[in-house]
Amino acid sequence: MRNAVLVALSVFHSFVAFAEGEPGTTAQETPAVPAAAAQDAAITATPASAEQPAALPEPAKEAPAAEMPMHHQGHEHHGERGEDGACGCPAGKAKGHFDLSVDGHLRVEAGSILPDRFMGIRMPASYERSALPGVGRNDGFGLGDARLNLRAVYRDNLYVRLGFDGALVSYADDQDTVGALSTGLKDAYLRYTFVPAASIFVGRFKPPFDVEELTPTEDQFFVHRALESRGVLRHEGPHGDLFGRSDVAGFAPGRQMGVMLGSDKLMAGGAMSLGYALAVTNGNSGDAAFNDNDLPAAYGRFFARFAAAGDGDDEEGPATHRQVQEGGIVGLSGFYNELSYGLEPSRYSDRVIGAGLDVAWHFMVFYLQGQLLGARTDAMSRTGLEPVYSLGGHAQVSVQVPDTGFYPGYRFALLDPREVKTSDAAAGADVDRVVLHTVGFKYIAESMPLILHLEYAHSVEQGGRAQANDRVEAATQVTF
């Protein structure tokens, strides 16, 4: 076994040495010249009139590998060296090498939810009796994100990103409200740029739908994403029920496996530019190894930007939506997906069609943002069931206090997972609408990459699901 491994390594090393050589050139084609012969040739070539042979300039010496920048080691230099002998080749364009970088962020959150104890103070017993068993029992601190990104660039066209997070939450069953943290994969995709108006992305990423889900946490003005995107978590109130699935809380599609074509620079004219993102994915969670059926899902978003693009990287994937600096952006999005679940003979399929409108605008000290999302779900494998409509959206405003890093704001958000238009509504099926009023502030430190949030949220449930579950929440984030 050991000999086989050594032989394989030897063959691989020979193959790499051959591949890195110039085409059509081998070591045998340029035999080494003996030192004595070279010296005799130099003396013969000296003019007879010269009393002393002119000193030959010494060839430039390669700097030791340990003294070179990492992206310059072990490759052929393509640029001129400076007076200090530094390599002049552009970073990231080394022959056969990637330019690597690492970044990430840490986000810690805290919250206190009615009933039981609120900010450590015990509430009246009436609150306890009117609430769901799992609501308001999990006050305290939580790890929102512990993100680490590895980015690799090859020349000007190829880019690879791997994102990992140590704050992934999983639950033991439907009644579990505590969960368990683990570390796992977030994003894993490559990008190849053909022209500025067309780049292709392949791998695991967030599809271009629900702009709130595509906004990095450092650009958000509140602790959590808006209600229609995030949904209601199981320790906050009634959970799930979107698209008829108990495991789907909000419109955010989550990361999926697929391919996407897009660009922020489809067309540009004056102060306006057009962009697009078109994706074909499996349609189910990116944690699944394969599609849940034999049909892909389709997502798309087109947008017009009336200002300069926001600064930042692709923290939330290739369709990341950055905060606008000045002016605004308007986007239209949509998707088509067929969901399959269960096992034969109890295997079912539903068709879901959705659409969205999003707006973000920055004017003077005012930051305005909102979106409206809607979907229709049709049962394909069961007869006699009416279509189910889902609706969600939010509108928010934040104001920068002049010459400070404080941004107080207010957000109105709504989520109605099941809008029934038939007699089912009279039977009590349409009672799951939630409205969330949030007021708070965001603080951005000027001397360090630190962000703080503090807010109060008032939740209003529909009908018999109403309960006392207001909450105070805070968060701090450091980006590196």
In the prediction, which pLDDT does 385 show? 84
User: Is 344 part of any domain?
Assistant: yes
Is 86 in the same domain as 108?
no
Is 297 in the same domain as 376?
yes
By CB atoms closer than 10 A (0-12, 13-18, 19+), residue 197 is middle
In the prediction, which pLDDT does 466 show? 77
Residue 353 in contact with residue 342, Cβ under 8 Å? no
Q: Which two three-digit tokens encode residue 408?
A: 């107080």
User: Is 284 part of any domain?
Assistant: yes
In the prediction, which pLDDT does 126 show? 47
Q: Which two three-digit tokens encode residue 169?
A: 């939450």
Tell me the three state secondary structure of residue 44. helix
User: Is 468 part of any domain?
Assistant: yes
Q: What letters, b where the CB count within 10 A reaches 16 and e where it falls short, cover 58-76?
A: eeeeebeeeebeebbeebe
Is 90 in the same domain as 218?
no
- Name residues whose C-beta falls within 8 Å of residue 239's C-beta, 6 or more positions apart in sequence: 231, 232, 233, 246, 249
Residue 151 in contact with residue 280, Cβ under 8 Å? no
- Name residues whose C-beta falls within 8 Å of residue 417's C-beta, 6 or more positions apart in sequence: 240, 241, 242, 243, 390, 432
Quote the CA–CA distance of 131 and 4 in Å, as a whole number. 67
Is 316 in the same domain as 452?
yes
In the prediction, which pLDDT does 117 show? 63
Domain ends where: 48, 77, 97? Answer: 97
CATH number for the domain harbouring residue 275: 2.40.160.10
Looking at 207-349, list the stretches that DSSP marks H as alpha helix, in order from N- to C-terminal side: 227-230
- Please state, in angstroms and as integers, the Cα–Cα distance from residue 368 to each residue in 30, 161, 411, following that order: 69, 31, 10
Q: How far from chain centre, in Å, is Cα 454?
A: 24
Number of independent structural domains in the chain:
2
Per-10-residue mean pLDDT, the chain, length 480: 46 44 41 43 40 43 40 40 45 67 97 72 55 75 97 94 96 87 96 96 97 96 96 83 76 96 89 94 92 94 83 86 89 96 86 97 95 95 86 97 97 90 57 92 96 96 79 96
Residue 97 in contact with residue 90, Cβ under 8 Å? no
User: Is 426 part of any domain?
Assistant: yes
Domain ends where: 46, 79, 97? Answer: 97
Quote the CA–CA distance of 480 and 104 in Å, as a whole number. 5
Q: Is the peptide bond before 133 cis (omega within 30 degrees of 0)?
A: no
User: Is 438 part of any domain?
Assistant: yes
Is 78 in the same domain as 165?
no
User: Is 25 part of any domain?
Assistant: no
Is 74 in the same domain as 215?
no
Is 163 in the same domain as 306?
yes
In the prediction, which pLDDT does 130 show? 54
Is 76 in the same domain as 124?
no
In the prediction, which pLDDT does 351 show? 95
Q: Which two three-digit tokens encode residue 259?
A: 């391919």
Is 219 in the same domain as 84?
no
User: Is 86 part of any domain?
Assistant: yes
Give the tens place of pLDDT for each residue, 223-252: 999 999 999 988 888 776 777 676 788 999
Domain ends where: 97, 112, 142? Answer: 97
Is 123 in the same domain as 82?
no
- Beta strands in 321-433, from DSSP E residues, in sequence order: 327-341, 348-363, 366-379, 388-399, 406-419
Complete DSSP assignment for 48-94 = TT-SSPPPPPPPPPPPPGGGS-GGGTTS---S---TT----SPTT--
Range of the domain at 413: 99-479
User: Is 7 part of any domain?
Assistant: no
Is 124 in the same domain as 197?
yes
- Name residues whose C-beta falls within 8 Å of residue 13's C-beta, 6 or more positions apart in sequence: none
Is 73 in the same domain as 118?
no
Quote the CA–CA distance of 469 and 237 in Å, as a whole number. 7
Give the residues across from 358 on adjacent strands: 331, 371
